[in-house]
Amino acid sequence: MKALIVGSKGQLGRALQSTAPAGVELFCVDVDELDITRPDLVNEWVDRVKPDILFNAAAYTAVDKAEQDEETALAINGTAVGTLADAAGRIGARFVHVSTDFVFDGTAGTPYTPDAPANPLSAYGRTKLVGEQLAGENAIIVRTAWVYAPVGNNFVRTMLRLMSERPEVRVVADQIGTPTYAPALAEALWRLVAAQAQGLYHYTDSGVASWYDFAVAIQEEGMAAGLLAQAAKVVPINTADFPTPAHRPSYSVLDKSRTFDIIGGPAPHWRDHLRRMIAEIKTNG
């Protein structure tokens, strides 16, 4: 079986490679080799590889920048998804696309199911919703949230750096969601493919946290592992105290029951995966 991973140098792209099942032949491409907004280049790659599975792990993820550059965000997060889906469909390949909790407005009081009405608050969320719609009814579409990994730019690595440089860090405490360890998300995607799944699903780690809770846990685990020499003061703040160009959902916990019915579950708690990542950073840097 051949799999083409688009966005192969990102957190999820790397994780898809490291968790690929035995017997899968991987073909990996990133933005430096493929501009997914160009249908001719997308079709050229698909025709050359002829994959059985096409994973789209590429995205425009600069949430605040997208408010001033929605056209570019839409080209990558929306239109290009349709191009990839069409190319996969033309050769009979499965198409797997990853979306976001930002398609919701955060007003719910209980976890969002895949069928819950979408109402994005930001340009990023709007463009990702267009991508879901263009992925097609035969695709596997998985919404996730707060993704982090041992490599790349993410909240965990940023917090570890800031906590080593500053005596105090201020972190939003009124946005609630669930962190997601990229290798666990990748494993879930491979298992959905193996199960011949189709349609819209949710996947994050288990548990719930605010960004403040997450930061406190990062410091605790970083201290325990010896990555931080001393504790910084972690100060909870409100979203209003740290205004950003893009509006973010205040509550974006996702209901994963549909996913777990297929691949088994629940997922490990986010704190367990955080500890696993901290250990990997300690070993590999």
- Strands 53-56 and 2-6 come out as parallel
Task: Indicate the domain borders of the chain.
Answer: 2-152+178-208+249-268
| Alpha carbon distances (Å) from 217 to 100, 109, 234 | 23, 24, 10
pLDDT score of 141:
98
Of 124, 148, 201, 251, the catalytic one is 124
Q: What's the CA gap between 17 and 183, in Å, rounded?
A: 9
Model confidence pLDDT, tens digit, residues 186-223: 999 999 999 999 999 999 999 999 999 999 999 999 99
Going by pLDDT thresholds of 50, 70 and 90, the confidence category of residue 131 is very high
**pLDDT over threshold 90, residue 95:** yes
Going by pLDDT thresholds of 50, 70 and 90, the confidence category of residue 8 is very high
Average pLDDT, the chain: 96
Q: Give catalytic status of residue 124 as yes or no.
A: yes
Tokens 């490679």, residue located: 17
Model confidence pLDDT, tens digit, residues 21-48: 999 999 999 999 999 999 999 999 999 9
2-152+178-208+249-268 under CATH 3.40.50.720, yes or no: yes
**N residues, the chain:** 285
pLDDT score of 151:
86
**Mean pLDDT computed over 146-171:** 94
Give yes or no for a contact between 182 and 151, defined as CB atoms under 8 angstroms apart: no
Model confidence pLDDT, tens digit, residues 219-234: 999 999 999 999 999 9
**pLDDT over threshold 90, residue 265:** no
Give yes or no for a contact between 141 and 188, defined as CB atoms under 8 angstroms apart: no
Q: What are phi and psi of 7, to 5 degrees?
A: 85, 40
pLDDT score of 96:
98
